[in-house]
Structure 1
């Protein structure tokens, strides 16, 4: 696919309960044709096709701007840069309308054959990343042109009750490189101070409700919790970020 530019990728993650995690994702991009944003997610193996809930943030397009505003700016800084189910599957995957784009949950890499061929990544590509052999995949179908889409968001049943997952692996034109150019900002909230090892993270001086419209976040944000931010810049290992316990 002819993707001309991807920039200003921003990701938010929070554990919602012992079984579920939420992710929000936004980027700017230019493309000459329709394309797909594919986010591998560590769902509980065997999750059904309805296990992932997509969240419509069309009415809160400034979600990430508000997260950014929670942190002091001593100087001008740029933003960051982009298992088989337990039931017999239907022939085609369900497509959901989520604000200005369409989304599908692909339960396993083998199920990509049931997705529109324009938006598939062939199984051989996923085989280059063995960790994804039993992951599920959230697929957002995006229109060609020059865009900053409103945040894409979802909640999913996570296999990691004590970890927080950020989908940051880059795959371009079916190739997986050991290192890639990163220009990301990632954000999170944690329920308890000291819950995760966060030595590389900034903490907001105030709680979320002082800078964010929590009532418009579809329960993604916890009003009385602080925010944390980390910048990923430069040529880095091409892997997902998994925040573990302290």
Structure 2
């Protein structure tokens, strides 16, 4: 879900990487370019088990690997790549949620919708939005505080984390759009989705010609990418049904 706590002027060049990790967990890496007039938070709903602990999500800094998605695109040479501080989240009602410094971001895991009351109001969605999204009733949420861009369009370094999955057989891509507090049936996508899967791969996705170790700096990715496996890619540009992608 490309979901922001306040209005944004533009969001473009969204990239998401997903891979299963140990013990039924999943890695997720997210980046985009955006323009906004205020500090705000990006909120990513994630299908965590109900009752997950506040420290169930492990945030991973990729500040030193800003070219993560640039390198992933090198595995698909037919399509050339395109060009694209810290403040605490103050607690609201109840005890403040733990926050983590991860690269240029302040991040927090919100275990359930009700726990947004424990974040400062400017980092929440408008009241009533979650009622329109009942599919997220049992979800948790990864929240990243973003600074107002210094220029019209700002590219942030990749946001990365590992989370426990409610369904250990499914890779989850958060692609539902909420940019202004409203939820539409269709949305404009400018997304490149990347993943690594076990087995015979994905028939409807592009497959890298080589193993990931030949185009990704595996050590700098902190275990997120399996260097001995191929990478799969799905490009979504244009208008699509406004929903998350499951693999």
**TM-score between both structures, scaled by the size of structure 2:** 0.89
Could you say which residue in structure 1 is the equivalent of 2:134?
130
CA–CA distance in 2 between the matches of 1:2 and 1:135?
A: 23
Three-state SS of the structure 1 residue aligned to 2:200 is coil
Q: 1:105 to 1:179 in 2, by over 3 A?
A: same
Could you say which residue in structure 1 is the equivalent of 2:233?
229
CA-atom RMSD, angstroms? Answer: 1.7
Could you say which residue in structure 1 is the equivalent of 2:90?
none
Q: Is the contact between residue 8 and residue 180 of structure 2 (CA under 8 Å) also seen in structure 1? A: no
Q: CA offset at residue 18 of structure 1?
A: 4.3
- 1:171-220 per-residue CA deviation (whole Å, 9 max, x = no partner) reads 022100000001100000113224xxx23200000000000100000110
Three-state SS of the structure 1 residue aligned to 2:71 is helix
CA–CA distance in 1 between the matches of 2:105 and 2:145?
A: 6
Three-state SS of the structure 2 residue aligned to 1:65 is helix
Q: How does 1:32-71 map to 2 (within 5 A)?
A: 32-71=37-76
Q: CA offset at residue 152 of structure 1?
A: 0.1
CA–CA distance in 1 between the matches of 2:207 and 2:222?
A: 23
**TM-score between both structures, scaled by the size of structure 1:** 0.90
CA–CA distance in 1 between the matches of 2:127 and 2:23?
A: 31
Q: 1:78 to 1:216 in 2, by over 3 A?
A: closer
Q: 1:169 to 1:8 in 2, by over 3 A?
A: same
Q: How does 1:139-150 map to 2 (within 5 A)?
A: 139-145=143-149, 146=151, 147-150=154-157
CA–CA distance in 2 between the matches of 1:162 and 1:79?
A: 34
Moved over 4 A (4+): 75-80
Q: Is the contact between residue 175 and residue 245 of structure 2 (CA under 8 Å) also seen in structure 1? A: yes
Q: Is the contact between residue 79 and residue 185 of structure 1 (CA under 8 Å) also seen in structure 2? A: no
CA–CA distance in 2 between the matches of 1:14 and 1:123?
A: 33
Could you say which residue in structure 1 is the equivalent of 2:171?
164
Could you say which residue in structure 2 is the equivalent of 1:115?
119
Three-state SS of the structure 1 residue aligned to 2:231 is strand
CA–CA distance in 2 between the matches of 1:76 and 1:156?
A: 31
Q: Is the contact between residue 73 and residue 80 of structure 2 (CA under 8 Å) also seen in structure 1? A: no
Q: Which deviates more, 117-126 or 167-176?
A: 117-126
Could you say which residue in structure 2 is the equivalent of 1:86?
none
Q: CA offset at residue 2 of structure 1?
A: 3.9
Equivalent pairs counted in the alignment come to 231
Q: Is the contact between residue 96 and residue 119 of structure 2 (CA under 8 Å) also seen in structure 1? A: yes
Structure 2: gaps spanning 5 or more residues: 1-5, 85-92
